[in-house]
Structure 1
Amino acid sequence: MSKKEEILTIAAKHFATYGYTGISLDKIAKEAGITKPAIYYHFTNKDELYEAVLLFRFDRLLSHLNDKVVAKKPVEKLVQYIEGFGEFLQQNSCFAAILAHEFADNGKHMSDVAARYLSKTLNLLTSILNEGIEKEEFAIENPMVVQMMIVSSLIMHQTTKELRKRVASFVEGYEVMPEPNIEDFAKLLARKMIKLVRKVP
């Protein structure tokens, strides 16, 4: 791992834990075993570092989804899209928390470049939904709403495990079932989403 990659990895962990405003370059430099000016050799400021952290993951997310969505039928493509998103969050543990912070801040610290990369996942989902509509397999749905339901559900799963346990422990008459891992949760979500968008004869 190069020093630049190490900085990106450490920064991602800090952004995931504290959000954009909760960290300083001094803390990142200290954990990386370098001086703060050494970070400026690779990134001009915190904004540029944060953008690099997001772009690094958005680029790989899009590549992962494009590799996953290989089916011929729109229904299968939608399943692969959702399950692929879940797989990526499983493999990139910091990413869900970073997105949770960013969504809570209404994208305040996300650059236009990063937002465009994020929009490419919506473009992919939209193409799947439009293909399903054209083939009369899907009813017309708002792609942004479908995307919100998918992404927010997966992010909540990844970032609220301890909270869910606490809340469930206080609910009377509620049998706490085994927690599904992210991949099983994504499969369950995919089944629910297919029922939602499928065109009823």
Structure 2
Amino acid sequence: MNGQTLGSRKTRRSVSSSRIQKRNREAILAAALGVFAEAGYSGATLDRIARAAGLSKPNLLYYFRSKDAIYTALLQGLLDTWLDPLRMLDPEGDPVAEILGYVRRKLDLARDYPLESRLFAYEIMQGAPRIRAVLEQDLRSLVEERAGIIRGWIDRGRIAPVDPVHLIFSVWALTQHYADFDVQVRAVLGETDPFPGAEAHLRTVFERILAT
């Protein structure tokens, strides 16, 4: 009985420790996102990230060995989030509905994850030193695969002829703009929420582009 009790206590401690580690890791990444988005990579420091996360610097270094490790972890997680909407294109679905759904999901990401979008844009503008290999391999393969689906719809006359890869680029440009240039968008519109109007406009734009 005592052995079982001791074992169950160890298990509870292990589970509790795992939860604390997960919580601390998430706190570090959330804090780092804000610091990197505000100060850029060069302006961010481990001390500043630790303070924002509510942890000591030695505690932070227990989870991540360097600023670069934190930055890379953020970018890797961001890429997965960013590419999921493209992966969701259904070859068997209605082409226009599928592409409009992709546009809407990308716009939702711009609305819900503006700091992540700016961090990604910052990395790209620096020449993508930490994710170039991923862009040239994983991203390129995914875009080519999804472009193949779009090309198949075009060949079957289901949507108007367009360049599939540049169509994907257009989706990126027209949706992520609302995150990366949020201050400019709101300054011009004078509105607190530009996204309902953006969604309606982009729906019209892509419906006209894709109409046969």
Please point out which of 71, 75, 98 is paired with 1:50: 71
**Alpha carbons of 1:55 and 1:150: their partners in 2 closer, same or farther (altered >3 Å)?**
same
Paired with 2:167 and 2:139, the residues of 1 have a C-alpha distance of 15
Larger Rg: 2
* CA deviation after TM superposition for structure 1 residue 188, in Å: 2.1
The one-character-per-residue Cα deviations of 1:71-116 (angstroms, maximum 9, x if unpaired) are 7111111001110111122222322211222232232343524765
Matches within 5 A, 1:29-178: 29-64=50-85, 66=87, 72-110=93-131, 112-113=133-134, 116=137, 118-119=139-140, 122-123=143-144, 125-164=146-185, 166=187, 168=188
Paired with 2:68 and 2:107, the residues of 1 have a C-alpha distance of 27
1:181 is the counterpart of 2:194: yes
* CA deviation after TM superposition for structure 1 residue 30, in Å: 1.6
Secondary structure of the residue aligned to 1:138 is coil
Q: Once structures 1 and 2 are overlaid, which stretch shifts more, 60-69 or 187-196?
A: 60-69
* CA deviation after TM superposition for structure 1 residue 2, in Å: 0.9
Paired with 2:136 and 2:68, the residues of 1 have a C-alpha distance of 14
Please point out which of 31, 36, 60 is paired with 1:15: 36
* CA deviation after TM superposition for structure 1 residue 31, in Å: 1.4
Q: Which amino acid aligns with 1:28?
A: I
- Report what 1:192 is aligned to: 205
Structure 1 segments (4+ residues) deviating >4 Å: 64-71, 114-121, 176-180
1:3 is the counterpart of 2:24: yes
Q: Which amino acid aligns with 1:147?
A: I
Give RMSD over aligned pairs: 3.1
Paired with 1:116 and 1:42, the residues of 2 have a C-alpha distance of 28
Secondary structure of the residue aligned to 1:2 is helix
The one-character-per-residue Cα deviations of 1:45-86 (angstroms, maximum 9, x if unpaired) are 222211211222222343455457597111111001110111
The higher-RCO structure (CA 8 Å, 6+ apart) is: 1
Report if the CA contact (8 A) 2:25-2:63 is conserved. Answer: yes
Report if the CA contact (8 A) 1:78-1:128 is conserved. Answer: no
Aligned pairs, how many? 191
Paired with 1:93 and 1:112, the residues of 2 have a C-alpha distance of 24
Structure 2 unmatched runs, 5+: 1-21
**Alpha carbons of 1:131 and 1:109: their partners in 2 closer, same or farther (altered >3 Å)?**
same
TM normalised by structure 2 equals: 0.72
Paired with 1:196 and 1:163, the residues of 2 have a C-alpha distance of 26
Secondary structure of the residue aligned to 2:41 is coil
1:26 is the counterpart of 2:39: no
The one-character-per-residue Cα deviations of 1:136-191 (angstroms, maximum 9, x if unpaired) are 1234433332222221222222232332455x4xxxxxxx6867633541342233
Paired with 2:69 and 2:127, the residues of 1 have a C-alpha distance of 19
Paired with 1:35 and 1:110, the residues of 2 have a C-alpha distance of 29
Between the aligned residues of both structures, percent identity stands at 20
Q: Once structures 1 and 2 are overlaid, which stretch shifts more, 64-73 or 153-162?
A: 64-73
Q: Which amino acid aligns with 1:44?
A: R
* CA deviation after TM superposition for structure 1 residue 196, in Å: 2.3
**Alpha carbons of 1:112 and 1:182: their partners in 2 closer, same or farther (altered >3 Å)?**
farther
